[in-house]
Amino acid sequence: MKTVFWLIIIIVLLAGGYYIYHTYLVKPEAAAGQAAVVQNPAQKDPAQAPEKKAKAEPTVDQMTKPAVENVTKVTDEAADKAAAAEKAANAAADKAAADAKAAADKAAADAKAAADKAAADAAKATEAAQAKAAAAEKSADEATAAADKTADEATAKAAAAEKSADTATAAADKTADEATVKAAAAEKSAAEASAAADKTADEATAKAAAAEKSADEAAAKADKAADEATSKAADVEKSADEAAAAADKTADEAASKASETAKKATDKASEAAKNATDDADSAADYLN
């Protein structure tokens, strides 16, 4: 603003100087020259010419006073205008600064509000993600625990089925051994009866009758033992089938093994019963 003010002052001074020069210096000289051409008083009266010339020429103060007053007036007006312009410019600058500050404050407030909202949204999203992750981890742990429990139950059932199959096999083996012992005893009794029969026909007949009776009893006992063995084998097979059915849900291999073991036990029991029956029949045939 100061630069504009001094520029206006310089322009006003230049204009005032030009006006003074043109009005009070150039025009009077031109007018004097023209008057001298038309009529020169010195040619008519040389003695009076200097006095008239002196009266016709204005003083320096007279020539410069209007210009000075004009320049002063113009300068004052320019100064007033410059002051008004400076005041208006200062007011405009103050208003622009106030508007800029208000806009900056509003932008800062809006930015802070947006940042706070973004931070709140981010925190909310983070909490939601953490909650989902915790729920997923909990579900995974529960699924793992359930799978472990199912596997443990399947292992326990398979072990129980295997134990039942082993028990059934042991029972079948014991029954077969008992049948074999009984058959051997029957065969021994038949041999003794045959030896006694060689000593005397009567004793042999009597012993043969006794042996036949014993053989019949032995055969009946063998049949009973075979029936019991068959019943036990059926019970064992039923238990093995139930164990296999329970194990089939979680362990197919354990069920298959139990079924095979039960079948072997049944075959052994049946074979033992058949052998006992055959031995008893052989003894009876021998005595007859």
Domain co-membership, 170 together with 268: yes
Write down the pLDDT at residue 56: 55
Percent of the chain with pLDDT over 70: 76
Task: Answer with the residue of higher pLDDT: 233 or 110.
Answer: 110
Query: Does residue 179 lie in a domain region?
Result: yes
Weakest mean pLDDT among 38-52, 143-157, 262-276: 38-52
Query: Does residue 92 lie in a domain region?
Result: yes
pLDDT at 37 over 70: no
Write down the pLDDT at residue 38: 47
Q: What mean pLDDT comes out for the span 52-64? A: 60
pLDDT at 238 over 80: yes
Query: Does residue 279 lie in a domain region?
Result: yes
CA atoms within 13 A on the CB side of 132: 6
Domain co-membership, 93 together with 193: no
What are the phi and psi torsion angles at 195 (to 5°)? Answer: -65, -40
Q: What mean pLDDT comes out for the span 39-68? A: 57
Domain co-membership, 156 together with 92: no
Domain co-membership, 159 together with 257: yes
Domain co-membership, 65 together with 178: no
Instruction: Give whichever of 42-46, 83-87, 162-166 has the largest mean pLDDT.
Output: 162-166
Domain termination residue (choose one: 69, 85, 101): 101
Domain co-membership, 178 together with 97: no
CA atoms within 13 A on the CB side of 162: 11
Cα Rg of the chain (Å, integer): 73
Query: Does residue 180 lie in a domain region?
Result: yes
The tally of domains found in the chain comes to: 2
Could you report the per-residue pLDDT of 77-93, keeping only the tens digit for each?
A: 877 887 787 787 678 77
The pLDDT confidence band at residue 27, using thresholds 50, 70 and 90, is low
Which stretch of DSSP H or E encloses residue 41?
A: helix 41-44
Write the single-letter amino acid at 3. Answer: T
What domain range includes position 60?
1-37+56-101
Write down the pLDDT at residue 36: 52
List of residues 6+ apart from 164 with CB closer than 8 A = 239, 240, 243, 258
The pLDDT confidence band at residue 22, using thresholds 50, 70 and 90, is confident
Count of Cβ atoms closer than 10 Å to residue 275 Cβ: 16
CA distances from 92 to 78, 100, 106, 141 (A): 20, 12, 20, 72
Write down the pLDDT at residue 138: 92
Domain co-membership, 161 together with 96: no
Write down the pLDDT at residue 33: 56
Which residue, chain included where needed, has tokens 């072990």? 159
Q: What mean pLDDT, rounded, does the chain reach? A: 76
Query: Does residue 50 lie in a domain region?
Result: no
What are the phi and psi torsion angles at 39 (to 5°)? Answer: -155, 120
Q: What mean pLDDT comes out for the span 229-251? A: 73
Domain co-membership, 66 together with 167: no
Domain co-membership, 7 together with 68: yes
Query: Does residue 107 lie in a domain region?
Result: no
pLDDT at 62 over 60: yes
Helix (H, G, I), strand (E, B) or coil at 99: helix
How far the first Cα of the chain sits from its last, in Å, is 155
Domain co-membership, 95 together with 158: no
Weakest mean pLDDT among 52-66, 168-182, 194-208: 52-66
Q: What mean pLDDT comes out for the span 120-137? A: 87
Q: Decide: residue 154, CB within 10 A, 0-12 exposed, 13-18 middle, 19+ buried.
A: middle
Domain co-membership, 92 together with 158: no
Could you report the per-residue pLDDT of 198-218, keeping only the tens digit for each?
A: 776 677 577 767 767 877 887
Weakest mean pLDDT among 126-130, 134-138, 253-257: 253-257
Domain co-membership, 72 together with 163: no
pLDDT at 32 over 70: no
